[in-house]
Structure 1
Amino acid sequence: MSLVVRGGGRSKAITDPSQLTGPEKAAVILLALGEDHATIWAGLDDEEIKEVSQAMASLGTVAANVVEALLVEFVAGMSGAGTIMGSYEQTQKLLQAFLPPDKVEALMEEIRGPAGRTMWDKLGNVNEAVLANYLKNEYPQTVAVILSKVKSDHAARVLAALPEDFALECVTRMLRMEPVQREILDKIEQTLRTEFMSNLARTSKRDSHEMMADIFNAFDRQTESRFMAALEERNRESAERIRALMFVFEDLSKLDPGGVQTLLRGVEKDQLALALKGASDALREMFFSNMSERAAKIMREDMEGMGPVRLKDVDQAQMKMVQVAKDLAAKGEIMLAGAGGDDELIY
């Protein structure tokens, strides 16, 4: 039988019960029982719910013979439940049958975020550049506590990605560190969960409006305006959502200095000059301020020497620059802020 695995599941269909861990076996049983027996979840504590939910969401396709074997093993008299599919949607639907909506959302955000049973396990699966970009705005003592709790190899990569003076201050605090009180650790964990992990989880969601925003970003300016105007006439709400989700050239103004400098290293100089020709004065000065005085002077001279340029060429240069920024963000080298609000988008 040919079976397809969706989402973050295993690369092959599960055909042998021995392939499954304990939480995965429990996830299969709960999926097979369905919503009618969702009250079983009430007997699990929060950590067990998280662990089983994580397993369920990444399960993929489970062959019917495996489901039957597990049901025979764990639930006497129940067999032949057939092939089932574990997915984010199915997991969320089951949880909603017995948990409040806010708790379901919190659990699903944790599932969508980095894997790991504890907060420190999860941090160990976050790209070091993304984590460093968040930590550099925290107090050195707080960063020292966090880095002392993650694996040493990951802590080393994060320290290397932090600004040097700040990293050295964190190292000094780690050397002097005394045992941390439980309530302080709890507070740090809560802050990480609400301010950092929730953003990571939210940005892993992708609906049709996000997909369409990417398509609109790839349009030239005239095509984008034409489609947006037509969409506003048919569905103003969707048009507004797409516009809020779009990342456009002027949104590069939200990059921090480190992000600007990383982007400058990834863009060809002639394309940068052409893109900045059509930029606002504020955005243009932001890029100049992150160059050396000599480089900024040369760039200004190059732009003046271009004379009049076609709008189409400027649009293409700006689109290429935005794509470079998105590629860098996908690698975790910079962080992009969304056009629709203050939430950070971490790719």
Structure 2
Amino acid sequence: MSDTDYSKLSRPQRLAIFLIIIGPEAAAEVLRQFGDAEIEVICREMSTFTVVPTELQKLSLEEFSPLVARSMGSALGGMAFAQRTLEIAKGDYKASAIVGRIGPGGGSSIEVIKEISEMEGRQIFNLLKSEQPQTISFLLSYLDGAKAAEVFALLGPELREEVVERLGTIESTSLDLVNKIAGSLHRHCARKLRPSFHQSGGVRVAADLINQLDKEMSKELITRLEERNATLGAAIRKKLFSFEDINRLQASDLQRVLREVDSANLATGMKSASAMLRDRIYGSISKRAAESLKEEIEMLGAVRLKDVEAAQEAIIAVVRRLEEEGQISLDAEGADSVVS
């Protein structure tokens, strides 16, 4: 696209270029200001700019320079960039759904799934109860968390384990499965689809589903799953509480966690933290401690991603331990309770 005339680009195309330039984290902050329909348009444009030439970068920055906040390092776009940006802005589930609609093969099949997802939970269960675990897990991966949990809770205990295991290991699923489900629902949906594959399921989706379940059911399920498939069970358990989920903690619980966390791990773990989470953490400690923490983060310089993730896992382990000991609760949404 080196010969692209910037002056002839549409507003969504110009915005897409700008978001690519500033990188996924900063782009996600911008995308949060838009509705889903607008995000789809912008991300569709982002996916078409696989590389942004230097000249276009310059023109884009001149136009949008008042909005530039941070993260000027990324200039690679494409579908992967759109997916990553959406995951930060809207979460994994919505990201997959939106990319599914704008990506290859994401048309009529998604409409079929949408039709099924609008049914009552009991109706969906009746449709799926005689299906294979692979088919059930496939459809659950497309439902919103609450409805997926409602349908999942109606399954028998043994079937739940197998469905979660299938759900956690799905990476790509043949869209022929959509026809199988749709054929049971509406005969007119049994039309031919081009052979293709679509991202669905995976560890993150399985964890999201378990997070929606009753606390006792989720504990029992993850324990049994770890016995059944230790590797998958451990992977799902890691995703049940992410580092950014620290935002869910009540102010007092966050302060309790921070008293237990190693300061070196906290500084390293915060290298990739969102602005919202950083502000919450700084606001939960003394002003002097916050300044000291900021200085420590700056002194770290560039840190390897695996080191950041290791530090975050150590902090999450503290959160889990305190929750198991009953000293904090993960049930309440704590961010809104903080007074600045």
Do these two structures clear the TM 0.5 threshold for a shared fold by scoring above it?
no
Q: Higher Cα Rg: structure 1 or 2? A: 1
Give the TM bin, normalised by the shorter chain. Answer: 0.3 to 0.5
If the length of structure 1 is used for normalisation, what is the TM-score? 0.36
TM-score norm. by structure 2 comes to: 0.36
